[in-house]
Structure 1
Amino acid sequence: MALSSTAQNRIVWGVRIFLALAMGAAGTAKLAGVPQMVEIFNHIGLGQWFRSFTGAVEVVGAVLLLVPATGLLGALWVGGTMVGAVATHLFVIEGSPVPAMVLGLLCAFVAYQLRPGQQRRAGVAAV
């Protein structure tokens, strides 16, 4: 049984809101200089400018996800950031890459649902 377009729209918006909250919180922690974030970026070795840059990228991605016209861009933006996060966890720092993988998969789901022409085919409202 297929989901109605209204149910599908609500699921996509729910995932977008979840991603925006997660990315907004992570980005804000980086921009605020939370000690754990400072330590992680010291370990990465690119300098604290990279922490600030990453935090800004995450906050911008969160905003893009919440704006109806830029949801696809936001999902791709944040998804690309999560690819970098997974690679960093695997090759540079210790820790599980699973949270970044889950967020990346959720971004892929949103991007797939918002791809050009999808709204017309599925009858999903743009807002």
Structure 2
Amino acid sequence: MTATTAPVRATATRPGAIRNRILWTLQVLLGLFMVIASGIPKFVGQEDAVRIFDAIGFGDWFMYFTGLVEVAGGIGLLIGRLAGAAAAGLSITMVFAAATQAFVLDAPSYSVFPLVLAAVFAWLASQRRDGLVALRDRLSR
């Protein structure tokens, strides 16, 4: 009596495929958040955004500029080659947002969310650093 065994099927996932899916899921969710919930309200003059930027004291131009930065960063997260640079830029933007909440608007409790986002964006940028290096090399030619 001979025993035959079924061939072992190798999984079709390559190393890092799950990590890549997680990164893309985060990028899409955060990109949509930055465009829809954070950037666009500044363009349409949402009441809360106008009130906050009036309290900052830089005028409407700064609200529109901040909205533009957030929308551009959100779109950049959705573009593979720009994801690392967009995440790095948004990380810096969120640190400034937290500092503004804490020191200019005198609401340090509101600075926690931007700091959490800054940490997530910094992690995304470190995970997408190959894109940052490729972009740097492309721009330095």
- CA apart distance, 1:116: 2.4
Q: Does 1:47 align with 2:55?
A: no
* Aligned residues of 1:75 and 1:110 also touching (Cα < 8 A): yes
2:75 and 2:125 mapped to 1: Cα distance? 15
Larger-Rg structure: 2
Residues 30-59 of structure 1 show CA distances to partners (whole Å, capped at 9, x for unaligned) of 111001000000000111110000000000
RMSD: 1.5
Question: Aligned match of 1:12 in 15, 23, 31?
Answer: 23
Q: Which has the higher contact order (CA 8 A, sep 6+)?
A: 1
TM-score (norm 1): 0.85
Determine if the alignment matches structure 1 residue 86 to structure 2 residue 121.
no
**Counterpart secondary structure, 1:97:** helix
C-alpha separation in 1, matches of 2:126 and 2:88: 10
Match of 2:117 in 1: 103
What is residue 22 of structure 1 aligned with on the other side?
A: 33
Fraction of identical pairs, as percent: 39
Q: For 1:97 and 1:19, how far apart are their aligned partners in 2?
A: 18
Report the residue type matching 2:91 in the other structure: G
Runs (4+) off by over 4 Å: none
**Runs of 5+ consecutive residues of structure 2 not aligned to the other structure:** 1-14, 132-141
> Cα distance, 1:100 vs. partner?
0.4
Instruction: Give the corresponding residue for 1:32.
Output: 44
Q: Deviations over 1:59-106 (max 9, x none)?
A: 000011100010011101111110110110110112511110111111
Distance 1:82 1:63 in 2: 16
CA distance in structure 1 between the aligned counterparts of 2:33 and 2:91, rounded to whole angstroms? 13
Counterparts of 2:80 and 2:33 in 1: how far apart (Å)?
Answer: 18
CA distance in 2, matches of 1:89, 1:71: 26
